[in-house]
Chains A and B, each alone.
Chain A
């Protein structure tokens, strides 16, 4: 969509976009270029000796079974977080979409957790699940479940998934609710008159109409789970035990900041960038489609 009416001149608008452009170039494009350059070099931690090594960092990366494990782990983690948080949020949104009493209160209660920081979510979940001090953790140990996510990789994965998904429910809830409310009541009413009931009606009539929202949220949640969960994981498990909860972002941080292996971590950054670009492209193809249909 293009506007017909515009103001003349080009100096003013150029000045207006300048701050945004300058920030973008300095903090996005330049670093991206740096990342690509560093990914082709190997340097000591102090950056005193730098050597061009071509694609060595990338071949090393993909020859490393631990990196491939880390990719698989991240995919599993992201899928689980997206599925769990979207599932719960959808159930809540369907319930909140009804004309019931205390509707407003429920909404406030379900929307506020949007403000919780990922790292803060971790603190709350430690209090629940920590084997020694957590309420649920102690109870589990009390009834004979050997619960110790600091030692058991599967349990650690479960904990970071729960905490990460929990934090994202509010966001998904807001979008699902908006999506549900934009479905014309007439459509649902017609389905009801045709005799479609309960879940069947939801699946055959509501869900298809909600698909644009579902797809949009899927991409957003995958990006969230891939990147924004760093704080949660770092505070809960630090990527351990072993490498049980080391996702790609945790690994970039650890190799780059803790182990000071700039070459390898830059190569990992480049790989991640390509991943995000792919996801964004996907989202925009879809968004384009959605605006066509709407």
Chain B
């Protein structure tokens, strides 16, 4: 334990020294860098601004192409309207947000739970066919939803899971990536720590709960962000497996709103788009520090 803490302190000090030297070397303001970064930020902010403004405009004005860059305050009512009433071709947004949130949470939590368990088993135990099990899990990396979409659908219909919430989420919960990541993290836990825990008489469950999970909390947080965004952004699978409008996710809803044969009400589409962006963007920004770390470390 003490050894571990000392190592971390040394690492921390080293980082601080590097930072310090770096700052001294690039003391001058770099205008070129500012320019590039501003352009980059604009590249992302401009479309978002357009959507924010567009949501408040009159649909007829948008259809005529009279797009102003200043929001129309009296048009803000559209948010309440799409949230509660829905639009032609799509139900009320609150319901779709709920479905999306449920789906994203179920996928993120489900993936984390089963991946932690299986990675724990692979990393800390010896059992027959351990490597075989590991490889079976590993193979799933090679089969993204998109390539096995039709056969998976057939399987789902055999299981009677079409148009159900489990049908929407369960097939996406199996995850090789998360298992691999946790295995990596667990393997990096110093043997001394395991030894110490065993000396204290901790069984496998206590070890997992009291030591392993706290140690990898940051990784779990990072993975949560990634998986939440992954679940939230699913398109092809929900499009196929849930034809019941009650199970429309927000992403599906938006595409449906654009696709209806009647005239697209662009202000409603945009208001819906804004509402659809808030949760995942919020999660990413709030947990940014962990998320970036988890993402880049996870794939090493």
> Which A residues contact B (CB, under 8 angstroms)?
1, 3-7, 9-10, 12-14, 16-17, 19-21, 23-35, 38, 88, 91-92, 94-96, 98-101, 106-120, 122-128, 132-133, 135, 138, 166, 169-170, 174-175, 178, 185, 189, 216, 223, 227-228, 230-231, 234-235, 249, 252-253, 256-257, 262, 265-266, 269, 272-273, 276-277, 280, 290-291, 294
Contact = CB atoms under 8 A, between A and B. Distances in A.
Given A27-B171, A135-B67, A269-B149, A20 B36 contact: no
Contacts of B115: 20
B298 to A, nearest CB: 11
Task: Tell me the interface secondary structure of chain B in the complex.
Answer: helix
B229 A114 contact: yes
B142 A277 contact: yes
A25 B283 CA distance: 32
A177 B232 CA distance: 26
Contacts of B114: 19-20, 23
Contacts of B34: 95, 100
Contacts of B273: 120, 123-124
Contacts of B151: 30-35, 38, 266, 269
A252 B149 contact: yes
20 contacts: A13-B127, A16-B117, A16-B118, A16-B125, A24-B140, A24-B174, A27-B152, A28-B174, A31-B143, A32-B148, A35-B150, A38-B154, A94-B36, A109-B37, A118-B233, A120-B276, A133-B62, A178-B292, A231-B255, A276-B143
Contact of B146 (A7, A14, A227): A227
Given A16-B121, A88-B40, A115-B281, 8 more contacts: A10-B125, A95-B36, A112-B44, A113-B44, A115-B280, A119-B255, A120-B273, A133-B63
Contact of B137 (A24, A38, A107): A24
Chain B interface size, as a band, is 35 or more
Interface of B: 18, 21-23, 25-27, 29-30, 32-34, 36-37, 40-41, 43-45, 47-48, 50-51, 54, 62-63, 65, 67, 114-115, 117-118, 120-128, 130, 133, 136-137, 139-144, 146-152, 154-155, 159, 170-171, 173-174, 179, 187, 191, 194-195, 198, 204, 207, 229, 232-233, 235-236, 240, 251, 254-255, 258-259, 266, 269-270, 273, 276-277, 280-281, 283-285, 288, 292, 295-296, 299-300
A120 B251 contact: yes
Contact of A230 (B27, B40, B235): B235
Contacts of A127: 47, 50-51, 54, 266, 270
Contact of A13 (B32, B121, B150): B121
Contact of A280 (B127, B142, B229, B285): B142
A17 B147 contact: no
B284 A133 contact: no
Residue among A112, A123, A230, A294 having the largest count of chain B Cβ atoms under 10 Å: A123
Task: Tell me the interface secondary structure of chain A in the complex.
Answer: helix
A166 B205 CA distance: 45
A240 B18 CA distance: 52
Nearest to A213: B296
B284 A112 contact: yes
Contact of B187 (A3, A26, A35, A108): A3
Nearest to B281: A115
Contact of A96 (B37, B127, B142, B194): B37
A99 B23 contact: yes
Given A5-B194, A23-B170, A92-B36, A273 B187 contact: no
B37 A119 contact: no
A276 to B, nearest CB: 5
Contacts of A117: 232-233, 235, 251, 276, 280
Nearest to B140: A28
B284 A17 contact: no
Contacts of B140: 24, 28
Contacts of A112: 44, 281, 284-285
Contacts of B48: 124
A126 B136 contact: no
A133 B266 contact: yes
Contact of B37 (A27, A110, A133, A291): A110
Given A178-B292, A249-B146, A133 B67 contact: yes
